[in-house]
């Protein structure tokens, strides 16, 4: 074999490799384009959350000045998947309470789950904290609000979700949920006594959701 033949053979081989590489790139491009088109056509909607109720077992501000909060309540939180053809994986979901943007309870983890099309999930986790330090101005605010008979809390749920379209599953997205919880301690008719010093309050407002 002459050097000319070797050079021609090497050139053909490089040309074949380039064709294979470009074919793979084109194939991957078509797959991603198809996924984007399907995603755009289906237009996935965010899950809809609703804080249904909260049963308060303990809520006490202590210290001098008041800067420690001990609380214990059980909430009922529902989530609805509004999509017809898209499922939702809840890989992680932590629930906790805040007051004036400060976290005042520990985080409670909700077990991972899958939510099918148009499906509703209901969770009833306990949200609590023992002698949780709060900022001085928030401690005074909590103490005053409780003396006045009402406290406005925000129940938050932070987590990670994935969307399922057919057999395709997306990467993980951050999920942020904010639910207002107006607890009217001063009005006995606002809640229902369900046990020793436990009162159940029912809510009707929906939660804000961002992904």
- The candidate with the shortest Cα–Cα distance to 128, out of 155, 157, 149, 108, is 108
Farthest-apart Cα atoms in the chain, separation = 102
Of residues 82 and 166, the one with the higher pLDDT is 82
- The candidate with the shortest Cα–Cα distance to 48, out of 103, 94, 88, 97, is 88
Asked if the model's pLDDT at residue 200 lies above 70, the reply is: yes
Q: What is the pLDDT of residue 28?
A: 86
157 contacts 105 by C-beta, under 8 angstroms: no
Cβ-based neighbours of 42, under 8 Å, separated by 6 or more: 83, 85, 86, 165
Q: What percent of the chain has pLDDT over 70?
A: 90
What integer best gives the mean pLDDT of the chain?
89
Exposure class string for 63-74: b at 16+ Cβ within 10 A, else e:
eeebbebebbbb
Q: What is the pLDDT of residue 166?
A: 83
Asked if the model's pLDDT at residue 31 lies above 60, the reply is: yes
């Amino acid at each position: 074999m002459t050097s000319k033949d070797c050079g021609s053979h090497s050139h053909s081989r490089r040309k074949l490799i380039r064709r294979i590489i470009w074919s793979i790139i084109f194939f991957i491009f078509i797959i991603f384009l198809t996924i984007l088109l399907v995603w755009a056509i289906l237009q996935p909607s965010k899950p809809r959350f609703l804080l249904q109720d909260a049963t308060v077992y303990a809520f006490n501000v202590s210290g001098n000045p008041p800067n420690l909060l001990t609380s214990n309540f059980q909430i009922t939180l529902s989530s609805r998947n509004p999509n017809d053809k898209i499922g939702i994986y809840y890989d992680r979901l932590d629930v906790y309470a805040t007051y004036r943007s400060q976290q005042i309870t520990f985080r409670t983890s909700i077990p991972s789950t899958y939510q099918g099309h148009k499906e509703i999930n209901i969770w009833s986790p306990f949200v609590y904290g023992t002698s949780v330090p709060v900022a001085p101005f928030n401690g005074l605010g909590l103490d005053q609000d409780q003396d006045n008979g009402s406290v406005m809390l925000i129940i938050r749920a932070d987590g990670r979700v994935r969307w399922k379209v057919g057999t395709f599953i997306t990467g993980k997205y951050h999920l942020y949920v904010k639910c207002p919880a107006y607890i009217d301690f001063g009005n006995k008719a606002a809640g229902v006594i369900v046990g020793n010093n436990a009162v159940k309050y029912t809510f009707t407002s929906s939660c804000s959701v961002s992904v």
